[in-house]
Amino acid sequence: MCPPTHFAVTYAINPWMDPGQPVDRDLAVAQWTTLREAYTGLGHRVDVIDPVPGLPDMVFTANGAFVLGRRALGARFREEVRTPEAPVHREWLTSRGFDVHVPQAINEGEGDLAWTGKHILVGTGFRSSPEALAEIASVFGVPVIALDLVDPRFYHLDTALTVLDEHTIAYFPPAFSAASCRQLDALYPDAIVVGEEDAMHLGLNATSDGQNVVMAAQAKKMADQLAERGFIPVPVDVSELLKAGGGVKCATLELHT
């Protein structure tokens, strides 16, 4: 995680961002701190990368890389304003002993890559490039499944889908092409289908340890759906980060073992 010390909305690179809308940085820091405490309260270790002045989106560490075991694929951002974040994340991972691959194709880390325990789901259509699929498969040596995103509000995979455990996902079908919906239905016939109201709170921008699901506090119907399926919702208000199109997952890079 990275504290939102320099968080701001000074440009618009997704439909959620409006530079004319005020941002309360102190509130963002307080909400981020609560999110971090939620993780530590569940027994998870949280490592922190230092924020860099001039990189207002660096709080969204999920975009910085994808990590599986001791191997990592660094990010290559589509938007030039975020390009300087990539080497900062690579340096942090390298300094901690990870084998970091410098990407050739555009990929935006865990923003578009999701580990299911069996394969990597990859969202394309807005940010990560289809050319990244072969590179991802080569780096990690596991099956890769491409999913087409079609709604610009859900510009990253992690805004429209979350992996709950090795057998279960939750997702918002209208964010995906018809072909990708059919593919997800075949892979996950018991998936939790989330409605638009909760999707628009970025309720699906969540993290799960297989039991506890840390998620936007405003996605109340989704929380009920999770509880009905035996998961434990852990609601956290990160509404200030939503002004930049981010949420719980965006602020969390998971180091998958």
Residues facing 169 on adjacent strands:
163
- Of 89, 101, 156, 201, the active-site residue reads 156
DSSP 126-190: SSS-TTHHHHHHHHH-S-EEEEEB--GGG-SGGGTEEEEETTEEEE-GGGB-HHHHHHHHHH-TT
Q: Is 156 tagged catalytic? A: yes
Q: How many CB atoms lie within 10 A of CB 3?
A: 18
Token pair in block for residue 159: 């805004």
Return the closest-CA partner of residue 160 out of 124, 130, 187, 131.
124
From the number of C-beta atoms within 10 Å of its C-beta (0-12, 13-18, 19+), residue 234 rates as: buried
**What is the end-to-end Cα distance of the chain in Å, rounded?**
17
Asked if residues 203 and 219 have their Cβ atoms less than 8 Å apart, the reply is yes
Q: Is 250 tagged catalytic? A: yes
- Of 2, 181, 201, 250, the active-site residue reads 250
What is the torsional sign of CA 169, 126, 53, 6? Answer: negative
Classify 34 in phi/psi space as left (phi over 0), alpha (psi -120 to 50) or beta. Answer: alpha
Query: Looking at the annotation, which residues are catalytic?
Result: 156, 250
